[in-house]
Amino acid sequence: MKRIVFLLFSFALLFNVTTASAAREGTVFRRVDCEEKLIALTFDDGPHPEKTEKVLEVLDHYDVKATFFVVGQNAERYPEIVQRCAEKGHEIGNHTFTHRYFNRLSALEAENEIKKDSKLLEALTGVPCRLFRPPGGIFDSASASLASKAGMKTVIWNVDTKDWAGESADNIFKNVTKNACNGSIILFHDYTGNKSHTLEALRLVIPYLLNEGYSLVTVSELISRSNAAG
């Protein structure tokens, strides 16, 4: 009887450890549980030969840092822009190599998209990618696990500015003021169509957040200063 109880206890312990490990692998950050007034601005789909440079100018003007989720095929075309982002202290994240939605890919294709982008970005910056954002924010536990196995946390967002849809600067500003809070991850794009109002919106959003007492940090810094990390 004691042996049976011991075996059952051992099995339960193993199950709990395995489950906890799986939970860690599947962790996805939409925002970070944080008591400090910290927010992360993120930019997807770049680099763009003109727009990324203009975003950098705005960030420099306000002396804030951001995270750029970079598409590999764009980085191949404009490697110097990726390097400039990194040199300025901004964080570079993996946004796959060709920006194909994962619900249209096989597991092997998805893995190759992640690995190819990470290899290129590390070669350009000298720093391994620690963050992954799936195209369109479309993911499942399998893709989150792929990212985890590649040493990356999956990062989505809790505030979508919809700059990609051509939202006006005023509407973007209202969206941010309504929904941003401690630990927010805000989605912008530095590779958008000509009707985008990203730059105008940033000139409204950044000073507002700073005046509200927020510090604008990279996603990795935000995570490192979360309640869980403390």
d(CA 104, CA 15): 32
Mean pLDDT on 44-71? 98
Is 150's pLDDT higher than 80? yes
Residue 3 lies in a domain: no
Position 160 in a domain = yes
* Residue 20 within a domain: no
pLDDT of residue 90: 98
Calculate mean pLDDT across residues 74-78: 98
Question: Residue 10 falls within a domain, yes or no?
Answer: no
pTM of model > 0.85: yes
* Residue 189 a catalytic site member: yes
Judge whether 44 counts as a catalytic residue.
yes
pLDDT at 23 over 90: no
Q: Which residue would you say has higher pLDDT here, 16 or 98?
A: 98
Catalytic residue among 44, 45, 117, 163: 44
Question: Which pLDDT does position 227 carry in this prediction?
Answer: 86
Asked if the structure places residue 127 within a domain, the reply is: yes
Tokens 């996603």 -> residue:
219
Confidence of residue 12 (pLDDT cuts 50, 70, 90): very low
Mean pLDDT of the chain: 89
Residue of 192 and 84 predicted with greater confidence: 84
pLDDT of residue 194: 79
- pLDDT at position 100, please? 95
> pLDDT confidence of 190, banded at 50, 70, 90?
very high
Predicted pLDDT of residue 195: 85
In a domain, 168, yes or no: yes
Asked whether 90 and 68 are in contact (CB, 8 A), the reply is yes
* Tally of domains within the chain: 1
Catalytic residue among 95, 189, 190, 197: 189
How far apart CA 223 and CA 116 sit, in angstroms, is 25
C-alpha dihedral, 191 to 156 to 184 to 62, nearest 10°:
-20
* Nearby residues of 21 by Cβ (< 8 Å), 6 or more positions away: none
172 is in which domain, residue-wise?
Answer: 28-224
Domain containing residue 139: CATH number? 3.20.20.370
Q: Is residue 5 part of a domain?
A: no
Question: Has residue 106 got a pLDDT over 60?
Answer: yes
Say whether pLDDT at 6 is over 90: no
In-domain check, residue 148: yes
Identify the pLDDT of residue 8.
35
